[in-house]
Amino acid sequence: MTSAPPALPLQPDPQGVRRLEFRALGTNCSVRFQLEDDRAALAFAAQALEWLGNFEAKFSRYRPASLISRINDAAGGDWTEIDAEMEEMLTLADNLHRRTNGILDPTLLPLLHVWDWKTVHLKLPSRAEVKDALALTGWQKVQRRPGAVRLPLPGMGLDFGGFGKEYAVDHLARTAHAHGITDALIDLGRDIFAMGGNGRHPFWHVGIEDGCHPGQCWGGLAISGRAVSSSGDYARHFTHDGVRYGHILNPRTGWPVANGMRAVTVVGPTCLEAGIFSTAVFVLGVREGLHLASLARGVEVCAQTETGIEGSRSFGSYLVKAA
């Protein structure tokens, strides 16, 4: 488990809000919540961190002993036996792939290797390399049967990075509710779910980062009982021979998204909903992306491009002035 133990004794601030900060799932995380009893607060924190540690140990492709790594290692070979939790994640992946018209595709690992962020900015992959990696992707290639899964081609691989953090946010929200917590802000690397209020207001304030001016917010959201997720390439991109390349890949082409999008922020009923549509809208572009998101109940979108900001009709109801 990579997450650090909770800071003791999680003392509340003047508004009664406790703050738990840690690192998990490869990112900085925090949970702010209100709970009067110190022992109850520590029990919630311990359970949340334990679950996250177990989740990462099973589903992180960066863990050699994880179940997903064992599935990937067996690509092109035998079936891998899986448990009910992995079965649930694969069924969820299938559903998300269908709902996003194939944009959410957990089989993009070969492309992620080709576009390795640590080295790719020094030399672009060749078109042949991208084409070969793209041929190893495609959710429809994954073979499943009860209690087992198989990747039929050597070099195939699964990565749940497109929805794993969002799934975890929603789980922690349910855990908080089970502990009697009504006011909380769960933030796993800017995938967020807000419950109740922040001690001053009956909502939580969430900033909207400016994709054209990273580090600045162009506005903010007043959120309660809703999730917020953002996608953008403003923090991770490079320029090669005058062409800008971001880290978000288009599964249809195998190349980084190049449609003028800079950031997408989505408010949804769950973090999973918000997350998959923030990615889908970013990849599809404003017109096709907003149309797809409009088919999902309770999902509101704001898309920032190089030239301006567009959004769904009701997104503005969550807007407040930037803090």
Mean pLDDT computed over 251-265: 95
How much is the average pLDDT of 23-28?
Answer: 93
Same domain, residue pair 82 and 203: no
294, pLDDT greater than 60: yes
State the burial class of residue 41 (Cβ atoms within 10 Å of its Cβ: 0-12, 13-18, 19+). buried
Residue 162 included in any domain: no
Based on the fold, state whether residues 197 and 307 are members of the same structural domain: yes
Kindly compute the dihedral angle of the four CA atoms of residues 242, 248, 252, 254, in this order, to the nearest 10 degrees.
60
Domain assignment present for residue 57? The answer is no
The dihedral of CA 295, 296, 298, 304: what is its sign? negative
State how far Cα 272 lies from the chain centre: 8
CATH number for position 276: 3.10.520.10
Residues 6 or more apart in contact with residue 3 via CB below 8 angstroms: 22, 23, 24, 29, 49, 52, 53
DSSP codes joined into one string, 26-90: TEEEEEEE--S-HHHHHHHHHHHHHHHHHHHHHH-TT-TTSHHHHHHHTTTS--EE--HHHHHHH
The reply to whether 2 falls in a domain is: no
Count the Cβ atoms, other than its own, within 10 Å of residue 248: 16
β-partners of residue 304 are 263, 309
pTM: 0.93
For residues 9-35, average pLDDT:
92
Question: What range does the domain containing 88 cover?
Answer: 67-150
Do residues 146 and 185 share a domain? no
Query: Do 245 and 287 belong to one domain?
Result: yes
* Residues 300 and 315: beta-carbon distance below 8 Å: yes
Quote the number of domains for the chain. 2
Structure tokens belonging to residue 263: 């950031």
Structural domain includes residue 73: yes
Give pLDDT, residue 7. 47
Domain-located, residue 7: no
Indicate if 111 and 206 belong to the same structural domain: no
d(CA 80, CA 71): 6
What's the token pair of residue 167? 């799934």
205 shares a domain with 279: yes
Q: Model confidence over 105-160: pLDDT tens digits?
A: 999 999 999 998 877 677 889 999 999 999 999 999 999 999 999 999 999 999 99
Residue 261 has pLDDT above 80, yes or no: yes
Based on the fold, state whether residues 299 and 186 are members of the same structural domain. yes
How many CA atoms within 13 Å lie on the side-chain side of 159?
18
pLDDT for 322 beyond 80: no
Is residue 81 assigned to a domain? yes
Give a yes or no: residue 255 inside a domain: yes
Kindly calculate the radius of gyration of the chain based on its CA atoms and give it in whole angstroms: 20
Percent of the chain, pLDDT > 90? Answer: 84
Question: What are the backbone dihedrals phi and psi of residue 133, each rounded to the nearest 5 degrees, phi first?
Answer: -65, -40
CA distance 44 to 35: 10
Pairing state of beta strands 217-223 and 204-209? Answer: antiparallel
